Amino acid sequence: MAESNAGGVGIDPMHQFEIRRYVELDFLGVDVSFTNSSLWMVIAVALITAFTTLSMSGRALVPGRWQSAAEMTYEFVASMVRDNVGTDGMRYFPFIFTTFMFVLFCNMLGMIPYSFTVTSHIIVTFAMAVLIFLGVTIIGFITHGLGFFKFFVPPGIPAVLLPLLVVIEIISYLTRPISLSVRLFANMLAGHTMLKVFAGFVVLMGIWGVLPLVFMVALTGLEILIAFLQAYVFAILTCIYLNDALHMHH
Amino acid sequence: MPQMVFEDFVPQVIWLVFAFTFLYVVMSRVALPRIAGVIEERRDKIADDLDRAAEFKKEAEQALAAYKEALADARNRALAIAAKNREEVKAETEKLRADSNAKIADMMHDAEQRIEQTKEAALVNVRDVAADVASAVVEKLLGQSVGKETVDAVVDAQLRRSQS
Amino acid sequence: MPEKEDESPKPSALKDLDQRLRQARGTEEQFDSSEQRGNALGLAFRLVTELVAGVVVGGVIGWSLDFWFGTTPWFLLIFFALGSLAGILNVVRTAQVMNAKQALDDDVVGRAEKQDTQDT
C-alpha cells in the first residue's frame, strides 16, 4: 500500500478497486468485516434515505427544489415500471425503485475522486442480479404455477427439435443474471480504470498534462452519463424480466 | 485484479444484503408511501382545479354565445326597423311625387286650355280688326263702301292662307 | 361598429384558455421514458456479453454434470455447443429488441414532431 501511495494515483489504475478492511469483524466464523465497500454502501443508503425522506418532510403541494427532485425520481421509476411491466407490476415498484436508487447512487458516488465504486465489483452486481433472477423466477412460478415452464417452449417448433430448443432456452434464461451483472460491472470497471489511467497521464506529462486533462473532463462527463444509464438499464432489465415472469411473452 | 479476491466476496455480499434490505424496508415503508401520498394529493387538487377551470370556461363560452345571440338579435331587429322605415318613407315619397305630378299635369292642362282660348279670342279680334281696317282702306281707296260680308269673306280667306 | 371591437378578443382569449387547460391536462401523463441509444462500442460489448454468457452457462452446466456422473468430456462438449447456441439466440434476441426499440423510438419521435407541426 505504501508503494502505491508513493507511486501516485496513476501508476496502478486497479488500486482504486481494492477492498480495504476498516474494522475486522467475525460473526460465527463468517467474515463480516466493515470494508470500504461497506462504507460506501452505507453512505449510499444514508443519502438515498435522506433524499427521499427529508426532501418530503414539508409535504408541500407546490414542491421545493429537493421535493420536486424526489418526486421526479419517483415518477421516473414509476412510469418505467408502468410502461415495461404494466399496472400489475406496480406491486414490485418499491423493489425496483430501491434497486435503481441503490445502483444509481453507488455509481454516482464512485465518480467522487478517492471514493470507492461498490458496483465495480462483479460479486456485488452478480449478487444483485442473482437476487433479481431468483425473485423474478419465483414470481413467475407463483403467478403461473408449472405453466411457467411454457415460457421455455418456443411456439411453432417440430416435436423432434423441441427438447433441444427447450434446453437452449433454459440456458439462455440462465444467462440473464450473468449479462445483467457483467454489463453493470464492466461499464463501471472500464470507466473508472480509464479515468485513473488518464489521471496518471496528467501527472506524468507535467505541463503537457493539460491535453489528457481536457480529455479527462470530457470523459468524466461521459462517465456520469454512463453511471446514470447503467442504473437505468439495470432497472429497466429488471422490469423486462419481471414483465416476462408476469405476462410470459418474449 | 481486486475483483477476484475471493476472501473479499463474503463481507461484500453480507453488507450488500444488509444495506439493500435496510434500504428496501425504508423505501417501501416510509419514503415511497409519503411521496405517493403527496403526488396523489396534488394530482387530485390539480384535477379539481382543472375541472373548475373547465367549468368556468364553459360558463364563459355560454355567456359569449348568449351575448352573440343577443347581439345578432338586436342587429336583426335594427335592420328590420330600418327596412320598414325605408319602405314607409319610400311609399310616402312615391305618393307625394305622384300627387304633385298629377297636380302639375292638371295645371299644365288648364294653362294650355287658357292659352288656347286666349289664342282663339285673339284670332277673332285680329280678324275683326283686319276686317275693319280692310273696309276702311277700301272705302278710302274706292270712295265707296264695300259690303261687310265681302270684306269678312276675303279676310277670312287671307287669314286661313296665312295660317296654314 | 362597436361590435367588431369587443367580439374578436373574446374568442381568442377563450381559445387560449382552452389550449392552456388542455396543456395542463396533457402534461400529467406525458412522462416519456427516453430510451438510451448506446454507442457502437457499448452495443458490441453487450452482444459479446450475451454470447459469452451463453457459452459460460453451458460450460458450467456441462462441467457439473460431468463432475457428478464422471462422464468427463461428454456433457461438457454437448453443453458447450448448446451454450453457444443459447448465446447466439441471446444475441439475435437482443439485436431484435434493439432494432424494435429504435424503430418504435423513431416512430414516436416522428409522430410527436408531426403533431407538433399540426398544432402550430
Dihedral angle computed from the Cα positions of residues B38, B40, B45 and B49, in that order, rounded to the nearest 10 degrees: 140
Average of pLDDT values for C60-69? 93
- Establish if B28 touches chain A: CB-CB under 8 angstroms: yes
Q: How far apart are CA A103 and CA A105, in angstroms?
A: 6
* pLDDT given for residue B150 in this prediction: 82
Alpha-carbon gap: B44 to the closest alpha carbon of chain A (Å): 11
Query: What's the domain range around B115?
Result: 2-163
Count how many domains chain B has: 1
- Contact criterion met (CB < 8 Å) for A172 and C86: yes
Q: Using an 8 Å Cβ cutoff, are C64 and C50 in contact?
A: no
Burial class (CB in 10 A: 0-12, 13-18, 19+), A213: middle
- Contact criterion met (CB < 8 Å) for B8 and A93: no
Burial class (CB in 10 A: 0-12, 13-18, 19+), C65: middle
* pLDDT given for residue A3 in this prediction: 40
Eight-state DSSP code of residue A10: T
pLDDT digits (tens, 9 = 90+) for A198-215: 887 888 877 777 887 888
- Establish if A230 touches chain B: CB-CB under 8 angstroms: no
Using CB atoms, list chains with 3+ pairs below 8 Å to chain A.
Answer: B, C
* pLDDT given for residue C59 in this prediction: 93
pLDDT digits (tens, 9 = 90+) for A17-27: 888 888 888 88
- Contact criterion met (CB < 8 Å) for C24 and B71: no
Dihedral angle computed from the Cα positions of residues C26, C98, C56 and A189, in that order, rounded to the nearest 10 degrees: -70
Which chain C residue has the Cα nearest residue A232? C36
Enumerate the H helices of C9-73 as residue ranges: 9-27, 40-69
- Contact criterion met (CB < 8 Å) for C57 and A178: yes
Chain C residues closer than 8 Å to A171 by CB: 54, 57-58, 61, 79, 82-83, 86
* pLDDT given for residue C3 in this prediction: 46
* pLDDT given for residue A113 in this prediction: 81
In 3-state terms, what secondary structure has residue A34? strand
- Contact criterion met (CB < 8 Å) for B53 and C21: yes
Alpha-carbon gap: A166 to the closest alpha carbon of chain B (Å): 32
Partner residue facing B60 (CB), from C3, C14, C25 = C14
Q: Using an 8 Å Cβ cutoff, are C80 and C116 in contact?
A: no
Q: What angle do CA A243, A246, A250 make, to 5 degrees?
A: 55
- Establish if B23 touches chain A: CB-CB under 8 angstroms: yes
- Contact criterion met (CB < 8 Å) for B11 and A19: yes
Chain C residues closer than 8 Å to A172 by CB: 54, 86-87, 89-90, 93
Chain A residues closer than 8 Å to C56 by CB: 175, 178
**Beta bridge partner(s), residue A34:** A23
Q: How far apart are CA C46 and CA A162, in angstroms?
A: 28
- Contact criterion met (CB < 8 Å) for A186 and C49: yes
A43 vs B7, higher pLDDT = A43
Alpha-carbon gap: A125 to the closest alpha carbon of chain C (Å): 15
The answer for residues whose C-beta is within 8 angstroms of residue A10's C-beta and 6 or more apart is A196, A197, A199, A200, A201, A202, A203, A204
Q: Confidence band (pLDDT; 50, 70, 90) for A193?
A: confident
Determine the residue type at A13: P
Q: How far apart are CA C100 and CA A24, in angstroms?
A: 51
Nearest to A98 by CA among A114, A127, A77, A116: A77
User: Cα separations (Å) of B52 from B57, C21, C76, C87?
Assistant: 8, 11, 71, 58
* pLDDT given for residue B101 in this prediction: 93
Handedness of CA A121, A126, A131, A132 (dihedral sign): positive
Q: How far apart are CA C60 and CA C64, in angstroms?
A: 6
Structural domain boundaries in chain C:
39-120
Q: Confidence band (pLDDT; 50, 70, 90) for B164?
A: low
Partner residue facing C14 (CB), from B43, B50, B61 = B61
- Establish if B24 touches chain A: CB-CB under 8 angstroms: yes
In 3-state terms, what secondary structure has residue C72? coil
pLDDT digits (tens, 9 = 90+) for B77-113: 999 999 999 999 999 999 999 999 999 999 999 999 9
Which chain A residue has the Cα nearest residue C97? A250
Alpha-carbon gap: C2 to the closest alpha carbon of chain A (Å): 44
pLDDT digits (tens, 9 = 90+) for B24-65: 999 999 989 988 888 888 888 889 999 999 999 999 999 999
Q: Confidence band (pLDDT; 50, 70, 90) for A13?
A: confident
Q: Strands A30-31 and A34-35: what pairing?
A: unpaired
Instruction: Please give the full DSSP string across B98-148, using - where no structure is assigned.
Output: HHHHHHHHHHHHHHHHHHHHHHHHHHHHHHHHHHHHHHHHHHHHHSSPPPH
Alpha-carbon gap: A114 to the closest alpha carbon of chain C (Å): 26
Alpha-carbon gap: C49 to the closest alpha carbon of chain A (Å): 6
Let me know how many helices (H) and strands (E) chain C has, helices first. Answer: 4, 0
* Residue count of chain B: 164
* pLDDT given for residue C111 in this prediction: 58
Q: What angle do CA A84, A88, A90 make, to 5 degrees?
A: 75
Structural domain boundaries in chain A:
2-247
Strand residues in chain A grouped as ranges (E): 21-23, 26-27, 30-31, 34-35
The residue among A16, A27, A52, A189 with the most chain B CBs within 10 A of its CB, best to mutate, is: A52
pLDDT of residue C4 exceeding 50, the answer is: no
* pLDDT given for residue A5 in this prediction: 42
